[in-house]
Chains A and B, each alone.
Chain A
């Protein structure tokens, strides 16, 4: 157990080393004609009012991946608390945080050369660089991946790579590329929605690229709340119940 912090330390420093090697000059920033900023609530209903699936019922998994996934699925469904990272208080892994339809909003903070997405769930932060840089090579994969974007008219196009492995419902490998097209649309009643079209391309996992979509609405007066997954543990601790707290129980 005492080894663990060193492992983490090494991981951090390796990233430091690699990142230093790969600085990329920034190009000129494109100027945005659209402002996506605000608090957005995901909705399961698309602009036509029909239910929107955020993941294919049968994603085109390559046969070997499908076999491994099916076996994994049996174990994971039996004990989701051990296999679903989110149930262990770990953050979601891209593209899952963008595909949630639960009641957790996300917030977009748009500045000239950056779009920052702050998720209420887990307090996660996703940074999308619009300054023309290329993604660094050799990065240690992360939960949010590394995102660069540019504007195509009124659409923000974001390319995300270096996503770490390990999403229970959405398997992928190191070659995963997620391309998102974020834009404001009108629903059938003329109300504004945010659409995120997400193209998933991973030749080592899927036989062909595919696209999914999620939709978001803005609600007046809704602000991001404070969500910390460890809150439960913390409150148990404050109330004197330490039975579930690993480092206080041994």
Chain B
């Protein structure tokens, strides 16, 4: 299992000085948003883990689920499945997130497994019925310069963090995104409130911070994980490709 984990970990190393990410990508059509979050961001871990289980007030049911958590079986990322929301957003591992912003939509692309969050800003209603998915259904609205996002319908197959913190499909996630500049560095703050009464007796509040990175390059998302998975599958069947398509996968540079 370490294999897949390591494979995807490497994806994060692709963060390099490639081409001059610009801090001022404007949305292609009016009206202009009060804040532009476009760009590539890297999460910065807080001094104290806000998701440490002993700091959370868990229901007995949640305590039972956490005690029974077996990462080999219940961690989706070990199957090249997505992290899911909010785990992708709460992760403090130093893997970049790319934000594409348009007036009607904010799109977040997560480097490690290629998770894509779509946040609709066009005032639409929630679909009915609303089926649980890995990234949920996110609607956003502006409060001054802050973007407030409410996300519902997150699959219970996902967990909140690597440690396996559970959640139910009634979970509601509210985020307040804002920008600040300190010492010439731009920071994105995501104040996250998770409300899930059958799992946590009190809402979980986490402030996740991201640092803007200039000149970063995103990796190929889930590709490294999938290549590892594919190779393991071939090996299990005692087969190797002599020639033909993906045989050179992962072999390194071929300029």
Measured CB to CB, the residues of A under 8 A from B are 1-2, 4-16, 18-20, 22-26, 32, 35, 37, 72, 75-76, 82-85, 88-91, 109-114, 116, 118, 122-125, 127, 129, 131, 133, 136-144, 164-168, 174, 223-224, 226, 228-231, 233-234, 237-238, 245-250
A12 touches B13 (CB 8 A): yes
Q: Name 5 extra pairs, CB < 8 A, besides A12-B13, A139-B255, A230-B226.
A: A4-B228, A5-B10, A9-B7, A12-B219, A131-B19
Residues of A within 8 A of B10 (CB): 5, 8-9, 11-13
Tell me the bound Cα distance from A4 to B8 in angstroms. Answer: 12
Interface segment, one of B144-152, B166-174, B178-186, B231-239? B231-239
Tell me the bound Cα distance from A151 to B68 in angstroms. Answer: 55
The reply on B109 being an interface residue by CB < 8 A is yes
B227 touches A8 (CB 8 A): yes
Q: A90-B249, A133-B20, A246-B232 are in contact. Are A75 and B244 (CB under 8 A)?
A: yes
B28 touches A24 (CB 8 A): no
Residues of A within 8 A of B243 (CB): 72
Residues of A within 8 A of B15 (CB): 16
A117 vs chain B, min Cβ distance (A): 11
Nearest A residue to B11, CB-CB: A12
Total B residues in contact with A, Cβ cutoff 8 Å? 81
Residues of A within 8 A of B245 (CB): 83-85, 165-168
B218 touches A127 (CB 8 A): yes
B104 vs chain A, min Cβ distance (A): 9
A-B pairs with beta carbons under 8 Å apart, 6 shown: A23-B18, A123-B115, A124-B221, A142-B220, A166-B248, A230-B79
Measured CB to CB, the residues of B under 8 A from A are 1-3, 6-7, 9-11, 13-20, 22, 25-29, 38, 72-74, 76, 78-82, 100-102, 105, 107, 109, 114-116, 118, 133-135, 157, 215, 217-224, 226-236, 239, 241, 243-255
Nearest B residue to A83, CB-CB: B244
Tell me the bound Cα distance from A109 to B17 in angstroms. Answer: 24
B14 touches A12 (CB 8 A): yes
A136 touches B116 (CB 8 A): no
Q: A8-B10, A16-B16, A110-B28 are in contact. Are A141 and B239 (CB under 8 A)?
A: no
B20 touches A26 (CB 8 A): yes
Tell me the bound Cα distance from A202 to B136 in angstroms. Answer: 43
Residues of A within 8 A of B254 (CB): 140-141, 164, 174
